[in-house]
Structure 1
């Protein structure tokens, strides 16, 4: 039985969406007479947008067409420029990466439905899957994308800090130490970058829900490029390591479990695979250096997503405890700061 699209997609324009889907169906030799004939399945786990799988039967009824509809979350343009994200999406498609863009409407878009499985939290801890992710990350970082190869990280966080200060109550501003974060960002920008650091095109949000695998070919596809930009590759590696502590499909999706954070040997293995994926054999010193750099960049990552969570608590209506998520990220920053910025420590320091 079909589900009424306008009931499932409250913020989308039914007429705009209908025209796009009718046009797509026509291109494929199908007919969509009305939206009630569509089957709509909400996809869980998204924390910025609402995502839906839309199905309809082919003209002869033997096959089912599938597309993915993404409805942009309210207020999320605070975090990124939507036009830049669409350009990235289209450029990635030209590179043979990710799904194709099939159509746009006022507050969302229609994408190709990828016939692959979205990873789970447990997949990130599977050695074979992790090795595939490491190689795909290296490929992603080596993409040549439009625009200057400038690090966006620090300007983006300062911009978000300004937004957080303008939105937050005095109570929240005090609890989350917003008045001292500018000083923390200045410190990190001074301490973390090194002369040897490599700049690449980074995804910046490589959680398991943004990684898909074709289980027949073992091909990995990285999706959702809202936050993608040039940044230090060590930062993107740090972000991925930090995402191993989250399970966004649990009963408490906002709770982070740092017992799942990869140990030193796991991080070394991942980075060795990452560096060797193009056929080069990295030296142990190269592996150790990138492990060290990535671990220090987790500090920037905690502030990045801490600010994101705090702002989202004020602007996003998705059922997720953004403020508690932010609280945990900031707690981890203050917990780890002294250890990771103390250069007298072993550079291969392992989180406790």
Structure 2
């Protein structure tokens, strides 16, 4: 259900955005009229509306392209938009992601990356998977401004409070929300005080990874949930996303038979731990693998709560409640296998 936005309907742009694009084009030496702007809606975004906007240049055989992101309503429940913008701007300055071109009240204009978004099947390609692992490790090593405190546990508790305040008593009972705070506490106590903490993307689904097929260069996009967290949590989230395919007639349905097996998980973790000539031993791989598996439980609660809240604040054509059911079902199914209880 694309999110409810003050956006482009049938190619009509908000006046503020149209004026901004004409000015931006003029700054690049492109003399255009508003009617020359070509608007293409890009599908697959889960929380925003995303458009490719193009216009002709003096060279009649080429056109200029930018990406316009219109923010969805109600998303302030999940993250602080100002902090997300600061992260995007800093990443842009580092050259790690697309450049920020302009901002306006309802969204922003970004550099259009001439690469393709990965598909669900791409995540299972051994060569692409190794590239993802290396890129994720590079992301985790970024030196970002601000506090380096782990965000995960406080965010889970904040979202739990939001979910309980929004949803019906029927859903509170169905999802056992009165018990979830104890579950979060138990999960937090499962992990040692000393962990590998890095700047995590926190939403490593295939739609947030782009590849240039000519150069094999990867770009991670969409940093709305990015923060410092245990790196094992970020890897766990990536593994969980292998159960999803958001480009089907039932994008909310998860297939956990597609969750990566032990060999595939170890192969990814080996690639992640291989850097600057370092060859990880089996003990390192096994240790991180065990942490990752435990953190899948936190991922299920995280996205389960996201689904519940989204059902009440979003108008996207997506069955958020059914999605949340699957995440919580997986949590209760896997908990006895993964925790020392």
Match of 2:309? 311
Q: CA deviation at 1:41?
A: 1.0
Secondary structure at the counterpart of residue 235 of structure 1: helix
Match of 2:17? 17
Q: Deviations over 1:115-163 (max 9, x none)?
A: 0010000000000100000000000000000012100000001100111
Which aligned pairs between 1:187-266 and structure 2 lie closer than 5 A? 187-191=186-190, 193-266=191-264
Match of 2:266? 268
Q: How far apart in 1 are the matches of 2:269 and 2:80?
A: 31
Q: Deviations over 1:242-290 (max 9, x none)?
A: 0001000011100000111100010001001100033211121111000
**Runs of at least 4 residues of structure 1 off by over 4 A?**
none
Match of 2:61? 62
Q: Deviations over 1:25-62 (max 9, x none)?
A: 0122112322x321111111111111111111113422
Match of 1:31? 31
1:286 aligns with 2:284: yes
Which aligned pairs between 1:76-87 and structure 2 lie closer than 5 A? 76-87=75-86
Match of 1:47? 46
Q: Deviations over 1:213-244 (max 9, x none)?
A: 01111000000000000000000000000000
Q: TM-score, normalised by structure 1?
A: 0.93
Secondary structure at the counterpart of residue 250 of structure 2: coil
Secondary structure at the counterpart of residue 160 of structure 2: helix
Match of 1:324? 322
Q: Deviations over 1:67-107 (max 9, x none)?
A: 11111111011100001001100111121111001111111
Q: How far apart in 2 are the matches of 1:125 and 1:115?
A: 23
Unpaired segments ≥5 residues, structure 1: 344-352
Q: TM-score, normalised by structure 2?
A: 0.96
Match of 1:147? 146
Contact 1:9/1:71, CA 8 A, preserved across alignment: no
Q: Deviations over 1:306-349 (max 9, x none)?
A: 00011001111111111111110000000000110037xxxxxx
Contact 1:137/1:274, CA 8 A, preserved across alignment: yes
Secondary structure at the counterpart of residue 7 of structure 1: coil
Contact 2:197/2:230, CA 8 A, preserved across alignment: yes
Match of 1:348? none
How many pairs were matched up? 335
Over the residues paired in the alignment, what is the CA RMSD in angstroms? 1.3
Contact 1:153/1:231, CA 8 A, preserved across alignment: yes
Match of 2:3? none
Match of 2:331? 333
Contact 1:55/1:66, CA 8 A, preserved across alignment: yes
Secondary structure at the counterpart of residue 270 of structure 2: helix
